[in-house]
Structure formats: structure tokens, C-alpha cells
Amino acid sequence: MIEYSMKTEEIYEYLQFTEMILMNFPASLPQHHTPRFTGECITQPVRAYYHVINDAASPYNTPMYPNMLPRHSHSFYELNIITTGSGCHYIADNIIPVERGDFFLIAPAISHGYYSEEKLSVFHLLLSDRFLFENSELLRRR
């Protein structure tokens, strides 16, 4: 295992860089209650799809919510993987800069959304309680 500890100067530079990135993004995102983002959309144990922000061909982009996937919450677990681009993930009370390769496991009832001024692709894997219950023994194995 490789251990690495940041020096005070590196931490300061990282914090300045993160602050600079966040200055270009809104302080908050609007909340929305679109039915496709609630528990009713999980009729199968697992569902997966891509959401691409700033792509005119994406069915999820609307003039009402430019450059973003507005804040929302739901009754299932969701694994999000950033596959292209960069932006910010608004999750609970935090704003986190994101880029390709970042991933998040979001618990039920946690408000979250994305903002980007460039093309940002997010792979969503929705996991129902039924899926987790039916596979709980398998999921506990190492």
C-alpha cells in the first residue's frame, strides 16, 4: 500500500483550486419533483440509464433546467458514475467538483443534482429495495 500525506502548501493550493472551480457554479440548484425520479420509476429490481447535461439530443434536457439535472431525491439507492466531462454534484449540503471517473452511492431521500457548463455524462444505476433484499446474502460475501 502506498501512503501519501499532503504538505500544508499542497493542501492550501488544492483548496484554492477547488474554491476557484466552485466560484463558477451556482450556489444552489432548483428542486424538482418529476415522477421519473421518484420511487415509482423503479418497476424492475435494477434500472440503468445515462443522463447527458448540455446535449441537445438528450431527452432529459429541457429549457426550464439548462445546464443541470435539478435537485431531486427518491426512495431507492443510486450509483452515479461520471463518464465524461466535469461539473459539480450538489449532494445534501455539499457542492463537490466532479470529473470523469468519479462515482457516488446515493442513499434514499438524499437531495442531489448536477450542474455543468460543458457536456457532462452521468451513468445512473438505480437499485430497488427488492434487489438489495433478494441479493443481501450475495452482497455480504467478500
Question: Which of 13-22, 40-49, 75-84, 86-95 has the least mean pLDDT?
Answer: 13-22
Cα–Cα distance for residue pair 76/123, rounded to 1 Å? 16
Q: Which helix or strand (DSSP H or E) is residue 122 part of? A: strand 120-127
Residue 83 has pLDDT above 70, yes or no: yes
- Provide the total of helices (H) and of strands (E) in the chain, helices listed first: 3, 8
Residues 66-80: what's their mean pLDDT? 88
**35-67 pLDDT, tens digit each:** 544 444 556 778 888 888 888 777 667 777 778
**Sheet bearing 94-99, strands edge to edge:** 68-72, 112-115, 86-91, 94-99
Is pTM, for the whole model, over 0.95?
Answer: no
Cell of 90: 450538489
The answer to whether the beta carbons of residues 115 and 98 sit under 8 Å apart is no
State the pLDDT at residue 4: 52
